[in-house]
Structure 1
Amino acid sequence: MPFALLLLGLAVFAQGTSEFMLSGLGPAIARDLGVSVSTAGALTSAFAAGMVVGAPLVAGLARRWPRRGALLAFLGVFLAAHVVGALTDSFTVLLVTRVAGAFANAGFLAVALVAAVGMVPAGATARATSTLLGGVTLACVAGVPAGAVLGELWGWRAAFWAVALVSLPALVAVAWSVPGGAAEGAPPALRGELRSLRDSRLLVTLLLGALLNGATFCTFTYLAPLVTEVTGLGDGWVPAVLALFGAGAFLGVTVAGRLADRRPLAVLGCGGLALGAGWCALALGAGHAVLALALVLAQGALSFGVGSTLIARALSAAPGAPTLAGGFATAAFNVGAAVGPWAGGTVLGAGLGYRAPVWVSAGLVAAAFVVAGVAGRGIRERRADGQPLRR
C-alpha cells in the first residue's frame, strides 16, 4: 500500500477515536453534565447524524477543491470542535460540537476514500478501503481504551484534549503526504454523478451497510454497562473490553481486505451469517465472562470485516460517481450509526435490560438478510426479463 495511504490512516485514527470513545465516557459525561446515560448516548447519535447529513453535502461542495486543501480544512475544523467540547460545561454546546466535528469527519472521510482508491490499481479497491479503515479499528484498540483510562483518571474532558492533540501530527502528515493542485483532473458533472448513484445494486449495498452498522453501534454504544452490569466485570475492565472489540475489528478489516477483492460475496454471505449468530450468542451468554469476552472479539472482527467489504462494494458499484461515492457510502453507514444507539437507548429506556440492545443488533442483521434476499430475487427477475439493473 502507498505510504501516503498509511498516513491518511493516522487522521482516520484520531477521528475514529472521537467517534467511538463515548462508549466508555458516557456515564462520566452523564454525571458531570447532569443528564441520564441514555441522553448522553445521544451524543453518539448526534455525531453519526452529522456525518449522515455532512458526508454527501460536503463531498458535493468540496468535489472541485484540491484534495490536500480539503483534507486539511476538514481536519482543522475537527480539531477546533474538540477544543471547544473539552472546555464547555453545557450539554447543548457539547452536542453542537459533536455535530460540527461530525461534519468535518464526514468531509474528510469522503475525500479520503476517493483518494485512497485512486492510489491503488483497479483490482485493489477493497484492500485500499480496509487499509484506510484500519485507522478506525486501531482507534478501537488503542484510542478508545486510552480515552476511557484518561476519563477515569482525569475526567472525560481529558479524552477530548487527547483527540485534539493527536489531530495535530495528523495535520502535518496530510500536508506532507497528500498531493495537491490540479493534477487530479476535473471531476465529472455533478448531475452525471448523481445519476450514477441511482444504480439499484448500489442502493441495496448502502441499505445493507446502514443495517449492519446499526447493529454494530447498537451494542457497542452500550457495551460498557453490558459488561459491568450483566457480565459482572468491574469498571476497570471497560477499557480492556473496548480494546478487545477493537483488536477484533482490526483483524476483521485486515483479513477482509485480502479476501474481498477476490470473493466479496463469500465474505458478505458467510460473514453476515456468523455475525447474526454471534449477536444472538452474546445476548444469551453475556452473563458468562469468558464466553462474553470471546464473542466481543469475534463480533468486532465480523462487524468491521463485513462492513469494510460493503464500503468497497459501494465504491466499485459507482464508477461514474468517483467524488460522491465516498460521501454517500459514509452517509449510509452513519445512518446505521445514528439509528443503532437510538434503538439501543429506546429498549433500555423501556426497562428491557442491558441485553436488549444486543437482541436489537441480531434483529438488524436478520433484516439485512431479508433485504438482500428480496433485492437478489428482483435482480434475477430483471435479468431474466432482459431489463436493465439501473433505475
Structure 2
Amino acid sequence: MRPAVYSLMSVVFSLTTGEFVIAGILPEVAEGLSVSVSTAGTLVTAYAVGMIVGGPVVTVLTARVARKPLVAGLVVFAVLANLGSAIAPNYPVLLAMRAAAGLVVATFFAVAIATAVATAEAGREAAAVARVALGMNLGIVLGTPIGAVIGQSLGWRATFVAVALSAAIALPLVIRFMPEQPGAVDGSVLGELRVFGDREVWWAIALTALGNIGVVTVFTFIAPLLTDISGFATSTVPVLLLVYGVGAIIGNQVGGRLADRALLPSVAGLLAALACALLLFWLIGGDRTGAAVLTFVIGALAFAIIPGMQTRVVAAAAVAPTLAVAVNASGFQLAAACAGRLGGEVIGDGSGLRSIPLAGAVLTVAGATLAVWLAWRERTRGAAPARAVENR
C-alpha cells in the first residue's frame, strides 16, 4: 500500500506549504492589501484557528463518509480555499479564506495517518506514519521557500495559486491509490465521541502537547536567537532554517523506525535528548559553530518524536483513531499558539531572549518525564495500547 501512503504524503506537502508559506510573503500581502505587516500576521492565526475548530468538528461530521470520497472532498475544499485566497479582493476576505483553508487540514492529516497505520505491516506502523509526515517536512524545507520565491517574483496571489495547483495535481493520485475503506463509524456519529472517555487517549494527547511545546517555543523565536544571540547575519537565517529542515527529514524517518521497535521508550529517550540539545543551545548558543550544529540536531530530534506520538494516539484510540488524531492535531496548533505567548512572557520577565532555550528544555523535560511514567505504567499494568494497532 505504499503508493497510497505516498499519494497522501504529496497532499500533506501541499497543505503544509499553504500553512507556512504565508510567513515568507507577509510583506507582499501587507503591501498588496494596504495593511500593516502585523495585521497581515493575523492570517497565520486565522489558519491555526481553522485547524483548531475544524479538527474535531469536520471529523465528527464526516465520520460516516467512506474514506476515499472524504479525502477527495477535503482536497477539493483545500484547492478552492487557496484559490479563494488568491483572488481575495480585500483583507477580510483573505482572512476568511485562510481560516477556511485550515478547517480541513487536521481531518485530512488524521485520515492520512489512520490510513497509513491501517495499511502498514504489523510492527511497521510508525514508519508508515513517518512517510506521511515526510510531506510535512518537505513542505517546510522545499515548499515554503519555493512559494516565497514565487510570491516575491510573481506576486503573493501567484503563491496561493501554486499551492492550489500542487494539491490539485496530487488529487488524481489519491483517487487512484487510496484504498476503499468505510467511514470511521457505522452507527451514530456522536458515538465516536465516546473515545474521549478513555483516559489513555487523553494521556496520549497530553504527551503530544507537553512534549512539543518546548521546542515549538524555541522555533518560534529561532530567527532572533540566531541573529541576536548566536551573531549570525540576517541573510544567513534562511540557510540555517534549511539546515533545521534537513535535520527534520532525517529525524522523522529515524524516529519512525525507533518507535516501531519500542514506542514509548523511544519517545522518552528522544525527548530527553531534545531537552539536552535545548539546554546545550542555552549554554553555548553564542558560539556560531555550536549554534549551527545544534540547529540541525534540534530539528532532527523535534521531528523524530512525531511518528511515535502520532502512533501512540492511534493505538490508544483504536475505536475512533481518526477523531483522536484530528483533536491531537488541533491540540498541537493550540500549543503552537500558546508557544508565542509563553516565549513573550519569558522574554518580558527580565530573563531575556537568551532564556528561551532554557525554558524550552524545562518544558521538554516535563514531556520526557510523562513519557517515562507512561512507559513504566504500561509495563507494570501489562496493558500496552500499542497492541491495539497490531490487533486492529
What TM-score does the superposition give when structure 2 sets the normalisation length?
Answer: 0.84
Displacement after TM superposition at 1:10 (Å): 0.2
Corresponding residue number in structure 1 for 2:333 = 334
- Following TM superposition, by how much is the alpha carbon of 1:95 offset from its aligned partner in structure 2, in angstroms? 3.1
Q: After alignment, is 40-49 or 116-125 more displaced?
A: 40-49
The 3 A distance-change label for structure 1 pair 192 and 122 is farther
Cα shift readout 1:269-301 (whole Å, capped 9, x = no counterpart): 211011112223334444333222211211111
SS in 2 for 1:319: coil
Moved more, 92-101 or 289-298: 92-101
The residue number in structure 1 matching 2:388 is: none
Confirm or deny that 1:200 pairs with 2:199: yes
- Structure 2 residue 17 is the aligned partner of structure 1 residue 17: yes
| Contact 1:343 1:360 survives alignment (8 Å) | no
Helix, strand or coil at the partner of 1:21: helix
CA distance in 2, matches of 1:359, 1:23: 26
Structure 1 residues 351 and 21: CA distance shift in structure 2, 3 A: farther
Instruction: Answer whether contact 2:60 2:190 (CA < 8 A) is retained.
Output: no
Q: Secondary structure at the match of 2:261?
A: coil
Q: 1:300 to 1:55 in 2, by over 3 A?
A: same
Identity across the alignment (%):
34
Given the alignment of the two structures, is residue 169 of structure 1 paired with residue 135 of structure 2, yes or no?
no
Aligned length: 381
Larger displacement relative to structure 2 (350-359 or 54-63): 350-359
Distance 1:98 1:152 in 2: 19
Deviation of 1:350 after TM superposition, in Å, equals 7.4
Provide closer, same or farther for how the CA distance between residues 87 and 45 of structure 1 changes in structure 2, counting only shifts above 3 A. same
Structure 1 position 183, deviation (Å): 5.7
User: Hey, what's the Cα distance between the residues in 1 that align with 2:40 and 2:342?
Assistant: 14
Instruction: State the Cα deviation string for residues 48-89 of structure 1 (Å, max 9, x = none).
Output: 332122112111111111212111221122122222333446
- Counterparts of 1:177-196 in structure 2, within 5 Å, are 177-180=177-180, 187=186, 189-196=188-195
Q: Is the 8 A contact 2:64 2:184 kept in 1?
A: no
> CA separation in 2, counterparts of 1:297 and 1:363?
20
- What's the RMSD between the two structures over aligned residues? 3.2
What corresponds to 2:137 in structure 1? Answer: 137
Q: Deviations over 1:94-133 (max 9, x none)?
A: 3322221111212211222222222223432211111111
Q: What per-residue deviation string (whole Å, max 9, x for no partner) do you get for residues 20-46 of structure 1?
A: 334444566566654355x65544343
- Please tell me the residue identity of whatever aligns with 1:15: L
Task: Decide whether aligned partners of structure 1 residues 193 and 128 sit closer, same or farther in structure 2, where only a CA change above 3 A counts.
Answer: same
* Bigger Cα displacement from structure 2, 171-180 vs 88-97: 88-97
Match in the other structure for 1:73: 73
CA distance in 2, matches of 1:238, 1:74: 34
Shift of 1:372: 4.6
Q: 1:218 to 1:184 in 2, by over 3 A?
A: same
- Partner of residue 387, structure 1: none
Deviations 1:324-377 (A, max 9, x none): 233223223222222223433555677875545544433431332454567678
Deviates more, 1:271-280 or 1:321-330: 321-330
SS, match of residue 286 in structure 2: coil
For 1:314-333, what aligned pairs fall within 5 Å after superposition? 314-333=313-332
- Shift of the 84–303 alpha-carbon distance from structure 1 to 2, 3 Å rule, reads same
Kept after mapping to 1: 8 A contact 2:64/2:183:
no
Matched residue type, 1:310 = M
Which aligned pairs between 1:1-391 and structure 2 lie closer than 5 A? 2-26=2-26, 29=29, 34-35=35-36, 37=38, 40-88=40-88, 90-154=90-154, 156-180=156-180, 187=186, 189-344=188-343, 354-355=353-354, 357-369=356-368, 371-372=370-371, 379=377
SS at match of 1:123: coil
Code of the residue aligned with 2:338 in structure 1: it is: V
Instruction: Give ranges in structure 2 of 5+ residues lacking alignment.
Output: 383-392
Shift of 1:209: 0.6
Corresponding letter in the other structure for 2:36: V
Letter in 2 for 1:35: S
Between stretches 273-282 and 308-317, larger displacement belongs to 273-282
Partner residue of 1:389?
A: none
Residue range with higher mean Cα deviation, 238-247 or 248-257: 238-247
Does the 8 Å contact 1:42/1:341 carry over to 2?
no
Contact map agreement 1:144 1:239 (CA 8 A) in 2: no
**1:350/1:49 Cα in 2 relative to 1: closer, same or farther (>3 Å)?**
farther
Classify 1:225/1:192 alpha carbon distance in 2 versus 1 (closer, same or farther; 3 Å): same
Q: In the TM superposition, what is the alpha-carbon distance from 1:92 to its structure 2 partner?
A: 3.8
* Structure 2 CA distance for partners of 1:225 and 1:156, relative to 1, 3 Å: farther
SS at match of 1:233: coil
Matched position secondary structure for 1:65: coil
Residues 112, 317 of structure 1: CA spacing in aligned structure 2 closer, same or farther, 3 A cutoff?
same
Query: Relative to structure 1, is the Cα distance of residues 186 and 81 closer, same or farther in structure 2, using a 3 angstrom cutoff?
Result: closer
TM superposition shift of 1:235 = 4.2
Shift of the 175–346 alpha-carbon distance from structure 1 to 2, 3 Å rule, reads farther
Q: Is the 8 A contact 1:146 1:239 kept in 2?
A: no
Q: What SS does the aligned partner of 2:216 have?
A: helix
The answer to whether the Cα contact below 8 Å between 2:60 and 2:192 also exists between their aligned partners in 1 is no
* Residues 307, 157 of structure 1: alpha-carbon distance in 2 compared, 3 angstrom cutoff: same
Q: Secondary structure at the match of 1:261?
A: helix
Contact 1:187 1:323 in 2 (8 A): no
Stretches of structure 1 lacking an aligned partner (at least 5 in a row): 385-391
Q: What is the one-letter code of the residue matched to 1:309?
A: G
The alignment partner of 1:162 has SS state of helix
